[in-house]
Amino acid sequence: MNSHSHADLLFRQALVFDGTGTEPLTQDVAIRDGRILAVGKNLSHSADRVIDAKELALMPGIIDAHTHFDAQITWDAYVRPSPAQGVTTAVIGNCGFTIAPCRPQDRELTMRNLTQVEGMSLDVLEQGIDWGFETFPEYLAMLKRKRCVINIAAYIGHSSVRTWVMGEQANKRAATTQEIEDMAALVREAMAAGAVGFASSTSPAHNGEGGLPMPSRLASDEEMMQLTLAMGHQGKGVYMVTKGGQMPMAFLRSLSQASGRPVMVAALLHNGTNPQAVFNDFKAIAEANEQGVPLIGQVSCCPLTMDFTFASAYPVEGLASWRPAMGLSHDSLKICLADKAFRQNVKNELAQATTFRLFNNEWDKVHVVQTAAQEHQKYEQHSVAELAQQLGVDPLDFALDLALAEDLQTVFTAQLLNSDTQAVAQLLNDPHSLVTLSDAGAHLTFFNDAGFGLHLLGHWARDMGVMSMTRAVHKLTAQPAGILGLKDRGLLRPGYAADLLLFDPQTVGRGPKHRVFDLPGGAARLNTLAVGVHGVWVNGVLVADDKGLNEQAALAGELLTEFV
């Protein structure tokens, strides 16, 4: 028998979506040593394991370009829940909210910032994070040693770099010329060690401990420029930024032009109260690309829906009028929320139109999910607008009064952005949009969009017919691989890594959300189960099947540190 025709794994009669965007074909696919050996009709290979894939589809694994697994990956090599959702490669460090580099004396501050900005539990972070590193190269070395079940690429994060250089001044002032030079040296060091790029945020919704801005929000244009140039000094890297409304596209374009590197802009979501803003951004992105300046907009195929309590009201924390409540703990927070002048200021701000904010006074999209007191159970599953109207009160007053009556334990859910089907369809189909923004690893108690890829395939491609399944596959695989410069990934072709998703195109999607209690200390997080997934392979190793994550799977993921 010819050893060249023997495979570890052979898929027979799969509907193969190869990632290129060309129409799928019924083919066989042979895998050996973690790589794709052959793709074709009726392959003559023998194999250790043969899978009859008739009526199933095979595609490259999903690449999730926007995750926040930086902390979780140090205690959970299975980066739940992403592998079971078809994700085979995740990019960490988005928005610049990383845990490396970090000096021992800044660990507490870093964790407290993450608790605020990424909705993570301080207890979970304190119990979970393995601080076996200080510098960014040491962090990468630790990840390489510990291994992960999926492939990981990591950004060097602006807020961490700023904190390393400026200490507790990082979120209080602009940097000096010398400090900017010191930061640039750290960025160059990280790129040399294998960072995929440099990530930052200027979003007003991004606040750290005590409601102070995250450090990157205090960066001058000059600092942004110097750090982007430092990133691109060897012709590699992507600059990723979650931009606030005050950060003009023209400036982002100048960063791309000066560095010669792609600029990835998040989070471009549709806002029902200012519907044209996101399309204006994409118009600027298209114009830049037409002139050879690469800009990409990160979009989501999920409505931004978030569970919250007023003890940690992330949806409204970007409001200037909410600042007096930021950083207050239980009793003092309750006094603030009861204050009539505080409430009036919030109402006044919500009444004004604005370019971008998470919550836009749409109380019909805020629902009471869970009440603490028996007499309030009748409110559950009803909108705040409807309940307030019944009682003849202002919706903000109703929500705050209910929360105060229940010691801030009431759980609300808000559908914040991206809820207009036609508008979202337009964003998903834009040639310059990257479908991502799962935020996996963050906001664990509020929402879970780790299954965004399954939602694109099932809801948007199959059910809504907004795009072909072929195009949806391309947008989840080859497109992000190309933008990020991933080698030999994102396509089903011989020689490429065997990162694969086997699914039923008739049923693929994501299930309803439910709570699981598997974080350090038994803390809760929201989870969604994959629907229609039959198998997920990372570098040829089966990591999940129709029953979910394989908890015994070998940690076959690679730390990606070389990019094209």
Per-residue pLDDT 10s for the chain (564 aa) are 345 689 999 999 999 999 999 999 999 999 999 999 999 999 999 999 999 999 999 999 999 999 999 999 999 999 999 999 999 999 999 999 999 999 999 999 999 988 877 777 889 999 999 999 999 999 999 999 999 999 999 999 999 999 999 998 999 999 999 999 999 999 999 999 999 999 999 988 788 877 789 999 999 999 999 999 999 999 999 999 999 878 999 999 999 999 999 999 998 888 777 888 899 999 999 999 999 999 999 999 988 777 889 998 888 988 889 999 988 888 999 999 999 999 999 999 999 876 667 788 889 989 998 899 999 999 998 999 999 999 999 999 999 999 999 999 999 988 877 778 899 999 999 999 999 988 888 877 666 789 999 999 999 999 999 999 999 999 999 999 999 999 999 999 999 999 999 999 999 999 888 888 889 999 888 888 999 999 999 999 999 999 999 999 999 999 999 999
Cα(398)–Cα(392) distance, rounded to whole angstroms? 9
Question: 286 and 165 share a domain?
Answer: yes
Does 173 share its domain with 202?
A: yes
Other CB atoms closer than 10 Å to residue 484's CB: what's the count?
Answer: 25
Domain end marker among 470, 486, 502: 486
Do 216 and 68 belong to one domain?
Answer: yes
Q: How far apart are CA 554 and CA 552, in angstroms?
A: 6
Same domain, 234 and 382: no
- Regarding whether 349 and 287 lie in a shared domain, the answer is no
Among 391, 414, 437, the domain-final residue is: 414
Measure CA of the first residue to CA of the last residue in the chain; give whole Å: 38
User: Of the candidates 264, 251, 270, which has an alpha carbon nearest to the alpha carbon of residue 297?
Assistant: 264
CA angle, residues 256, 257, 261, in degrees to nearest 5: 45
Q: Are 205 and 287 in the same domain? A: yes
**292 and 352 part of one domain:** no
Domain carrying residue 365: 307-414
- Which of 414, 449, 469 terminates a domain? The answer is 414
The whole-model pTM stands at 0.88
- 168 phi/psi in degrees, rounded to 5: -80, 0
Residue 424 sits in the same domain as residue 400:
no
Alpha helices in 296-394 (DSSP H): 330-338, 340-350, 384-391
| Total count of domains within the chain | 2
Considering the domain architecture, whether residues 328 and 463 belong to the same structural domain is answered as no
- Using a 10 angstrom Cβ sphere, with 0-12 exposed, 13-18 middle and 19 or more buried, the burial of residue 348 is exposed
CA distance 41 to 528: 36
Q: Is residue 197 part of a domain?
A: yes
